[in-house]
Amino acid sequence: AGQYLQVHLDGAEPRSFSMSNAPKSADSVQLQVRVMPGSLFGERVLPSLKPGDPVTVELPLGDFYLREGPAPVIMVAGGTGFAPMQSILEDALARQKDRSFTLYWGARKADGLYALEQVKKWQQKFAHFRFVGVLSDDDSDHGMRRGLVHEAVLVDHADLAHHQVYVCGAPVLVSAARQVFTAQRDLPPGQFYADSFATVGSGSVLPSSA
């Protein structure tokens, strides 16, 4: 849970996407694809795919997965960085009920938090799960906090010395979170785990580990 796959395309670099469903939940994988203007996969390949069309994929890849242990878990997602968090939470919440999980999910606008129904189900079902939504560029009253998602963690936690922190999103988010959590909240560097989304020239969103 938390790893990614690569989609191989003829004549182009593979595109990498985090898998959002938990392992063993089905004999398939679910992807959450942010379609960016001009992207090869999102705008040109994906719309033409039909059920039954062959797609070449390679999986699983990456080392972004939940580490065992009793430490409280803080997860920080930006945009579609929610995808691997969903996979991890679907897999872990039912199994690790003696461990706390807090998800901070940030986006510019409210519609960027596109899976709130799933989040609400976790809130209703699991007492050891907490959610904080953060909007950076939306003044409407959605019941969400305002600002940057990693800064919401700083507000809530004076000390992260005994936590595990998982961050997934744009490189600027990962870099900022790593710096402030370790320097200002005493998070051990070895307890910070990240999957940084980068882009290729065609505009497809990729984990940096691809």
Q: What number is the average pLDDT over the span 97-109?
A: 97
Per cent of the chain over pLDDT 90 is 72
Residue 208: predicted pLDDT: 37
The token duo for 89 is 């939470």
> What is the predicted pLDDT for the residue at 209?
32
Q: Is 156 helix (H, G, I), strand (E, B) or coil?
A: helix
Mean pLDDT of the chain: 90
Give pLDDT tens digits for 150-174.
999 999 999 999 999 999 999 999 9
Burial environment of residue 189 by CB neighbours within 10 A (0 to 12, 13 to 18, 19 or more) = exposed
Residues sharing a CB contact under 8 Å with residue 160, sequence separation 6 or more, in sequence order? 74, 153, 181, 185, 186, 187, 191
Quick check: 141 pLDDT over 80?
no
Report residue 35's pLDDT band, with 50, 70 and 90 as the boundaries: confident
Question: In this predicted structure, what is the pLDDT of residue 135?
Answer: 96
Q: Which conformational region is residue 183 in: left (phi greater than 0), alpha (psi within -120 to 50 degrees), or beta?
A: alpha
Q: Rounded CA gap, 143 and 109, in Å?
A: 12
Q: Which tokens in the block code for residue 198?
A: 């980068």
Predicted pLDDT of residue 104: 98
Of 53-57, 74-78, 117-121, 200-204, the range with the lowest mean pLDDT is 200-204
Q: How confident is the model at residue 43 (pLDDT cuts 50, 70, 90)?
A: confident
Angle of helix 149-156 relative to helix 171-184, nearest 10 degrees, comes to 20
pLDDT per residue as tens digits for the range 56-98: 999 999 999 999 999 999 999 999 999 999 999 999 999 999 9
Q: Are 167 and 192 in contact (CB under 8 A)?
A: yes
- List of residues 6+ apart from 125 with CB closer than 8 A: 93
Q: Is pLDDT of 132 > 50?
A: yes
pLDDT confidence bin for 9, thresholds 50/70/90: confident
